Chain A
């Protein structure tokens, strides 16, 4: 997107005042989205996001800037403005840039942008019909498909020989949102399967008809749900999207952006027990075609399978280049950003608790009184205190080992350290779920995951009074 000779000039301008690392991140993202309201095309849109970010590191300091003007004049002016934030002598002159081989982990059969919008609309109309025709109480259905194709070019240097990386990302997401009403109450249910993949996945692998039927069934079931009780009691959390608990309670505090400055509840915890011995956990950006996967990270480091917790012991963090310097650790392919508008930092990709040995059904059978949480809205965490919350959009009461009536509107809260130590059962049914994660470097696609787990006790908030 920019020539090697221009990149060389810009890197050298950036390094003029003593920077010890410089980087240019050039991005061209093309987005297509179509949304249907009750089976009729409401909006179809196209967007292009194009620009570059320049970063200069000097020890633990960082200067970052971005522009949507990729002319030589603009990029050199930006590099010089950023360099002016340091007052030193040049340490590095970049003499060459060598293009690096990037291993493509995520193969794309049919690029999403090449699929006619009408073909996507056909799928969305059928999904609408399946949901709408399931029950007359379903009063509104929004179905949509979005695809993002990003071409990325990274030039970086911390010595005379600089590197060039070219990468692409191809992501698609199908969304189904149903509203049901019985005249008094109204409920919603959402499903959004997503992948780093081409159209072949959505057309041939994803069973979206089954997913649409599930959306219809769940929204009707939740219409009849009571309010969730509140208090402290055992909670069983389903596999897949249930991993949002680990994502919030443990994943964010294990990002080097939090641990490096001593601002995380898990700072300095490597080698220490932070979870029940039943828990091992990974962040793995290499799983082929998963929503949170990538060929390499946004600093040009290949993605990896990083072990974070082994049998309850903290064994690693997600580390980006700048925070790696602070920690004395090597970057491990986890630097991510939403777009060139953001400086990269350590973020999760596909983060999950590894499978255990328990039969998931037995975990429920062994629970006398508690709540079984099966779907989530999302959550947030304060990495410094470790206090987290996540909201459950679908849950059931467990009585005498049986799943009973559905409940809605519950929030689970706790601290990362307590909740991880409180996991007393881990199932063998590991699965992943897709979502969007927001933090310092913007909104990025991530997978969360876990097998069915049980928490001995956690604080649950709801409007349904005491659990009986």
Chain B
């Protein structure tokens, strides 16, 4: 698209400054079920997000209808939104950071790797899951999704930035039956280097997740020393970090609001945002065109910084932290790749001192069970008892309840688990005590 025309039209209609972000995305999804390709989905889509300043007010508009009227639609949308806006102050558009740390994280080899080989692997995974144990009754899904996305950013201040990435996700789900009991388990693998898929390991992890669940019961409702597996802990870290958003803090609705430079977690907890790490989550500029950088958010249990976009930074008289990302129709706050610093112990060493405790390996319903303003939460969970320092019998249909601040303060130990399973990379953690609901 000719973005010059957008800027010309914007100027003609009275916008003092504006920016435009054009995103393109292509994807292929393949799902197999009972030895056949069950679903095949391909997509090719584009969208434009635009914002600008009209009569001193900042506003935005978005579309994916990229026809000849798109620019007019966007600019009129900005004007209409700015006209009714009652925000007391608006920020100027950004002129650009001094330095950007651009890296090429796009792996052309991913798309070049033959699709037939990828499909072959899916069938092999399905076959190996079914053959692994007679209790595996069905392979719910084996699916592969590959996406290629690019984003180009232009502003009337002359800033031009772009990035391109690709990523694949491999997902498998198995159903197991033993007597009247039905259990499910899933495994995921992310990346942009297909050669890193270890099929045998992937299947083994799935089966190891599925089979030990049989015979699960409820424990007695009580407070127990609790170990959260890395993937479960990462969900809680996501909510914790979201509360460091300056936007929530300035509106007095964050439980971290009055805690800058204070202890908000156990000294074992260090949480960093690392958007410049070379992995599929790499991003070197935010949606305001600000250069991102690696930083500690919580260091040794102390809250080091809030997360700012340009507007919230202006309010607090500080610099933006490069965390301005689109949230619906406005620039909100978000983070890139997050890493929680590992400990030195193995999982076995970490749980060795626990006489009677609970090890949580699955949760459900946290999205609706979390009050992100207060940090109070309650959700469905399953896992295992820990007895005399070892993982023991399975637990099913229990609840896990707590408060994020208390939970992070009560982290007694962390292990050295280091698997990039999502954009939040965590070790396993041992929490002194948490409320477990059951019998």
Contacts and interface: CB of A to CB of B under 8 A. Distances in A.
Interface of A: 28, 33-34, 37, 40-51, 60-69, 74, 78, 81-82, 85, 117-118, 121, 139-140, 179, 181, 185-188, 227-228, 230-232, 261-263, 265, 341, 343, 376-380, 382, 384-391, 408-411, 413-415, 459-463, 466
Interface in B14-49: 33, 36-47
B435 A463 contact: yes
Given A68-B64, A187-B374, A118 B39 contact: no
B47 A461 contact: no
A51 B73 contact: no
Nearest to B175: A384
Contacts of B37: 61, 85
A419 B401 CA distance: 22
Given A341-B45, A462-B435, 8 more contacts: A46-B77, A46-B81, A49-B64, A63-B40, A230-B401, A232-B439, A389-B364, A461-B401
Contacts of B329: 33, 43, 45, 47
Contact of B63 (A47, A117, A186, A460): A47
B400 A45 contact: no
Contact of A181 (B81, B140, B252, B378): B252
A411 B253 contact: no
A67 B437 contact: no
Nearest to B29: A64
Contact of A413 (B41, B47, B81, B380): B380
B364 A140 contact: no
Contacts of A380: 364-365, 367-368, 380
Contact of A411 (B140, B184, B379): B379
Nearest to B69: A48
10 contacts: A37-B251, A45-B77, A67-B44, A68-B45, A69-B44, A186-B373, A232-B439, A341-B45, A382-B184, A388-B380
B105 interface: no
Contact of B65 (A41, A68, A343): A68
A460 B84 contact: no
B253 to A, nearest CB: 5
B350 interface: no
Given A341-B43, A385-B183, A410 B378 contact: yes
A462 B86 contact: no
Describe A's contact surface by its main secondary structure.
Answer: strand
Q: Top 5 closest A-B pairs, CB basis? A: A461-B399, A45-B329, A461-B437, A378-B368, A389-B380
Contacts of A384: 140, 175, 182, 184
Contacts of A388: 380
Contacts of B374: 185-188
Most buried by A among B44, B184, B438: B44
B260 to A, nearest CB: 18
B221 interface: yes
Nearest to A120: B84
Given A46-B80, A69-B66, A382-B184, A411 B437 contact: yes
Given A61-B37, A64-B40, A43 B437 contact: no
Q: Size band of the B side of the interface? A: 35 or more
B81 A411 contact: no
A258 to B, nearest CB: 10
B343 interface: no
Contacts of A37: 251
A42 to B, nearest CB: 6
B251 A140 contact: yes
Contact of A230 (B61, B88, B399): B399
Given A387-B364, A387-B397, A140 B45 contact: no
Contacts, number: 244
B62 interface: yes
A44 B252 contact: no
B380 A117 contact: no
A117 B380 CA distance: 42
Nearest to B59: A44
B397 A390 contact: no
Nearest to B63: A48
Nearest to A262: B138
Interface in B221-271: 221, 251-253, 255
B398 interface: yes
Contacts of A45: 59-62, 77, 81, 328-330
B18 to A, nearest CB: 15
A118 B255 CA distance: 34
B431 to A, nearest CB: 14
Nearest to A139: B252
Contacts of A51: 45, 64
A415 B64 contact: no
A460 B437 contact: yes
A193 to B, nearest CB: 19
Interface string B394-414: 001111111100000000000
Nearest to A74: B44
Contacts of B175: 263, 384
B15 to A, nearest CB: 15
A408 B373 CA distance: 14
A239 to B, nearest CB: 20
Contact of B140 (A42, A64, A263, A343): A263
B369 interface: yes
Contacts of B99: none
Most buried by A among B37, B373, B398, B437: B437
Contacts of A343: 39, 41
Given A48-B73, A188-B373, A414 B397 contact: yes
B162 interface: no
B186 to A, nearest CB: 10
B365 A390 contact: yes
A460 B81 CA distance: 45
B101 interface: no
Contacts of A265: 182
Interface in B124-175: 138, 140, 175
A463 B252 contact: no
A124 to B, nearest CB: 11
A37 B330 CA distance: 13
A319 to B, nearest CB: 18
A463 B401 contact: yes
B61 A46 contact: yes
Nearest to A343: B41
A227 B84 CA distance: 42
B73 to A, nearest CB: 6
B65 to A, nearest CB: 4
Contacts of A415: 397
Most buried by B among A67, A181, A230: A230
A107 to B, nearest CB: 28
A16 to B, nearest CB: 16
